[in-house]
Amino acid sequence: MKTIFLKSLALSLITLSLWSCKKEETQTVSNVSVAGTLTASATTLSLVQANGAKPALTLTFPAPTVTGYTVPVTSTLQFDLKGKNFATPKEYVISNTSYSPTVNDFNTMMLALGGKIGTSTQLEVRLKSGAAANAMTYSNVITLTATPYLASAWIYVPGNYQGWVPATADSLVSTTSNGIYIGVIKFDGGNFKITPEKKWDVAYGDAGSGVISTTGGDMASGAAGLKQLTVDMNAKTWRIKDVNQIWSVIGDATPGKWDADTDMKFINDGKDGYKITLNLTVGEFKFRVNHDWAINLGGGPNLTLGGDNIKVTTAGNYTITLNVVDSDPTNDLKKGTFIKSGSYTIVKN
């Protein structure tokens, strides 16, 4: 009998304990409001670099409310190109109820998402709000329209190829000022370094394993020739590879006539163009790649593969620029003819 009593008492205590836990558990439930309505001060934005430090727009939304047990709630603004359904958005965690990115910041974000410089682009933005990854809610979606501008930044490459003079060194460009710089330079097989400015106050060198540092040694360009150099100032890394396209002008109007090419220079301005300043005589010329007629461009301002010779009717000093459809100079043309067309300008100086 005593045993039965003790078992009954134990069962009662267990039941009471479980009831207490359940009661305590119900006290820890939190109710978090869904993401509120997102509003924008403007939906068609004017991005002008001169106004770079000013707000591009202001996005506002109500603060989330929490009842019951207090839990942290995260409010995140998501941006992506229209039509991508926020597959790979740029996210910004907001600690208050408004967000006012600067013109420069908004422009950089658009370019990073895939917006094209000088082309009207539509973005979508929404609010993601919740207390846990599996309990997120989303606001209405707002479409924003703007035209990104070229927001370039440069670093410099003094080296043996130009006498180790930072003031006259070639440059690498970051078209979105995102810290990743790319350029094409004609090296002589000697070494070089990287400077943020055209002076030796700060210089980066080779720290080994593709890393740069201010204590690193000279960086090797490898065999002489055109190279594409990429420097990531965020990760402090660098890489260099051969350029497989050398564009030139050739013709009886050029110094080498039809017998020898005059090479153009790749311009590290973010537009992936080629340029040359030279004396031309009355005559004709064409553009070709790698000193070979397999790929040559001619015709009017809109060049075509194998187009007509370009005429020069007045002798003088000219600056010629060239832009080709295939803008990556490292593409191996032996694996296929990527070049189909291009455009050029010729200006008498």
Give the pLDDT means over successive 10-residue stretches in the chain (349 positions): 46 45 50 86 92 93 77 84 93 90 90 87 92 80 93 91 95 83 92 96 96 96 92 95 89 96 84 86 94 89 90 95 73 57 88
Domain 247-348 in the same topology as domain 153-242: yes
Per domain, the residue ranges of the chain are: 30-146, 153-242, 247-348
The CA distance from 271 to 302, in Å, is: 17
250: left (phi over 0), alpha (psi -120 to 50) or beta: beta
Which residues partner with 227 through β-bridges? 185, 242
Q: What is the pLDDT of residue 29?
A: 61
CATH topology of domain 153-242: Immunoglobulin-like (2.60.40)
Q: What is the pLDDT of residue 55?
A: 95
Q: What is the pLDDT of residue 44?
A: 97
The CA distance from 341 to 146, in Å, is: 29
Beta strands in 258-315 (DSSP E): 262-263, 265-267, 273-280, 283-289, 292-299, 302-305, 310-312
Q: What is the pLDDT of residue 15?
A: 46
Q: Which helix (H) or strand (E) holds 265?
A: strand 265-267
3-state secondary structure of 303: strand
HEC-encoded secondary structure of 236-263: CEEEEEECCCCEEEECCCCCCCCCCCEE
Q: What is the pLDDT of residue 304?
A: 87
Contact 125, 142 (CB under 8 A): yes
Give me the CATH code for the 30-146 domain, please. Answer: 2.60.40.10
Contact 141, 84 (CB under 8 A): no
pTM score > 0.95 for this model? no
Q: Which helix (H) or strand (E) holds 325?
A: none
Q: What is the pLDDT of residue 323?
A: 85
Q: Which CATH class is domain 247-348?
A: mainly beta
